[in-house]
Structure 1
Amino acid sequence: MIIGHVFERFVEESPVSVMVRGLLETILCPQKLDELFEKNAKTQYTKELLFSTVVEMMNTVTCGIRPSIHAAYQAKTSQMNVSVTSVYNKLNAMETDVSAELVRETGTSMEAIIRHLNGSLLDWLPGYRLKILDGNAIGASEHRLKPLRDCNSAPLPGQSLVVLDPSLMLAIDVFLCVDAHAQERSLLHKVLTTIEEDDVWIADRNFCTLNFLSGIVARKGYFIIREHQCFPWYDASEFRHIGSVEGGTVFEQTVKVSDDEGYLSSLISVPRFIID
């Protein structure tokens, strides 16, 4: 029972690493990953290279164990029945829906574990679910083709909107676009389909658009979003004093906003700070 003795030593000396390893093997179970791929892929198909194998290699790169996919492939050469070109072809053609669903399903599984272990943080707003939305344009990599490395206008890897649950400190959703030069706002129609009642969305002013805010209200959600200078509104009341914070006094004001569907007919604007 050599394996048993080795395992016991790890349990005694580094129990957290053993638990994390077991957790990742459960969440990223090859069978589950391959089923996810078959369920969500529309144009790709499985021939010899499994989706779970690609995820495993990507994990070693993401975690810094291997410097590149090529290095990850070389470390598994004896177990691979396809060429490294096939691996890159699989990655290059990976559909965004598959990648997004991978985040959602693993996020759902991780959430269940965190809540079962009472590991969530205190709710910022009890009775509501906060979701922080932010964009991420994936930066140019030194692994790009050499002639393009110094070209600012060269194609970038992609654009994404990521949803973070601050009580779980977990990314629970992602919306992807293969065009990194696309506006973040071009993905907001996808975000709207996921909004649930009593959600509270937190985002910066780039997401302060009439359609997005009205869509949140129409779905009985709420938002805390910084006002964009081009957002259309007009006064509906005078400023009201509501309290003080470190460095200033806080006032708030009711403003009127409406869209073609009549949503957002009345709302409270972002509190304004007047420094003493």
Structure 2
Amino acid sequence: MGLRPSLHAAAKAYANLPVSVTALYDKINHADINVIRALIQGSQYRLGPVMHAMQPTQAASVEGYRLCIVDGNHLPASEKRLKPLRQFRGAALPGHSLVVYDPDCGLVIDILPCEDAHAQERACMAPLLERAQPGELWIADRNFSTKSVPAGWHRRGSAFIVREHRRTPNPTAGGTPHVCGRVDTGLVYEQSVSMNTKEEGQVPLRRIELQLDKPTDDGDTVIRLLSNLPTSTFSAEDIATLYRRRWRIENMFQRLESALNSEMTTLGHPHAALLAFGVPCWRITCSQ
């Protein structure tokens, strides 16, 4: 929980610990990372009705949809290492997690730990795609812009808004872009496109292009979004505005880090480090 600087310090402070410190570390190092996912899922199922009772008049951000924002959280290099490597600048990377956040109720509703720190976030998405269902609107950045991820959401009946990567999924244009209007950050265009997939064949999509008045921190002047939201109820301006909700998960990560000590850098084993990240996620879920 971050109440002690390290697991060893916590064990020493607990006078009645019936096992050795070595046994304690062995237990933490061999913890099943699926335990933390089950803890998060179980907590949100139980706390969802509580949050609804506390805020009965709060309207959903998107009428008719549950908003699900997914993003990756990469744990920093670990301080825990073998003695011969302690002077080496490149510290070990303990892993990362995919986190699903519902900003309307303020709950982390799912977390997928990954022990391979170098694995791409999109490669770990399969279990989260299997939990997607109709009535959900998923928002993700360009790290998730592949054929398999949007096609998976479409196959499960979920709506999505994902920022298009320059190289993938490279959809086929079905017409020329046309001006739709303006939002706070720039001029909005829309174009009909389609994505060819093995499972679904040709999947029709909408490409929303936002030409920014000011470049992003990365120097981008144009942002392209892919979505399967219906044109009858969502305009291009609506989709461009909705994508800005993605930053709410970044705010949650900052709150997790500043208030709840979200990462314990003294735990270097992937199982232990991911468990030490997941427990504060559970705390921020319960603290609501």
TM over 0.5: yes
Residue 126 (structure 1) aligns with: 63
- Cα offset for 1:152? 5.5
Aligned 8 A contact 1:121 1:168 in 2:
no
Pick from 1, 19, 34: which aligns with 1:82? 19
Counterpart AA for 1:200: L
Larger Rg: 1
Pick from 128, 132, 135: which aligns with 1:191? 128
DSSP 3-state at the match of 1:270: strand
> What's the TM-score, normalizing by structure 1?
0.71
CA distance in 2, matches of 1:181, 1:120: 43
Aligned 8 A contact 1:214 1:264 in 2:
no
Residue 180 (structure 2) aligns with: 242
Q: 1:143 to 1:154 in 2, by over 3 A?
A: closer
Tell me if 1:267 matches 2:200: no
CA distance in 1, matches of 2:192, 2:79: 50
- Cα offset for 1:123? 2.1
What is the CA RMSD across the aligned residues, in angstroms?
2.2
Counterpart AA for 1:88: Y
Structure 1 segment 135-154 matched on structure 2, within 5 A: 135-151=72-88, 153-154=90-91
Question: Comparing both structures, which one devotes a greater share of its residues to helix?
Answer: 1
Counting matched residue pairs gives 213
- Cα offset for 1:66? 1.4
Q: Percent identity?
A: 37
Counterpart AA for 2:41: R
Q: 1:263 to 1:270 in 2, by over 3 A?
A: farther
Counterpart AA for 2:35: V
CA distance in 1, matches of 2:155, 2:146: 14
CA distance in 1, matches of 2:85, 2:44: 35
Counterpart AA for 1:213: P
Residue 262 (structure 2) aligns with: none
Pick from 145, 149, 153: which aligns with 1:208? 145
DSSP 3-state at the match of 1:191: helix
CA distances 1:153-178 after superposition (whole Å, capped 9, x unpaired): 55321121111111122211011111
- Cα offset for 1:150? 4.9
Q: 1:116 to 1:150 in 2, by over 3 A?
A: farther
Greater relative contact order (CA < 8 Å, ≥ 6 in sequence): 2
**After alignment, is 198-207 or 111-120 more displaced?**
111-120
Q: 1:168 to 1:120 in 2, by over 3 A?
A: farther
CA distance in 2, matches of 1:141, 1:155: 6
Question: Comparing both structures, which one devotes a greater share of its residues to strand?
Answer: 2
Structure 1 residue runs without a partner (length 5+): 1-58
Counterpart AA for 2:63: P
Structure 2 residue runs without a partner (length 5+): 215-288
- Cα offset for 1:214? 0.6
DSSP 3-state at the match of 2:157: coil
